[in-house]
Amino acid sequence: MQHLIALLAGILPLYLVRFEVFGVPTNVLEVALYGIFIYALVHAYTKKGMRDLFSIPREKLSRAGFWLLLLGAALSAALNPTLRAFGILRGWFFDPMLLFLLIRYI
């Protein structure tokens, strides 16, 4: 699992390679992140460690900041009349949170 996270750091320049999946614009780095996260989900499910994968920090200040950031980003995207806001939500908030969860899991 650690090797896959290191692979993400190695393919950072491939962020510039863009394409569409089912009409949704994406890039190689995001697809690799989602693939690694799905692998981690399967790994956690077989090891009965789903709680470990989705754990956020136990400190109250960190937990409150995590939820406030998520709520603010989701509210901002929902109130924006363009669909571009959901791409920003995915690229700037959702993907880094997935990476954060993966790093905490390993």
For the segment 39-63, what is each residue's pLDDT rounded down to a tens digit?
A: 988 888 887 766 666 666 667 677 7
Average pLDDT, the chain: 84
The pLDDT tens digits for 70-105 are 888 889 888 988 888 888 888 888 898 888 888 888
CA angle in degrees (0–180, nearest 5) for 25-97-79: 65
| pTM, entire model | 0.78
The pLDDT tens digits for 5-22 are 888 889 989 989 999 888
Q: What is the dihedral of CA 41, 43, 45, 48, to 10 degrees?
A: -130
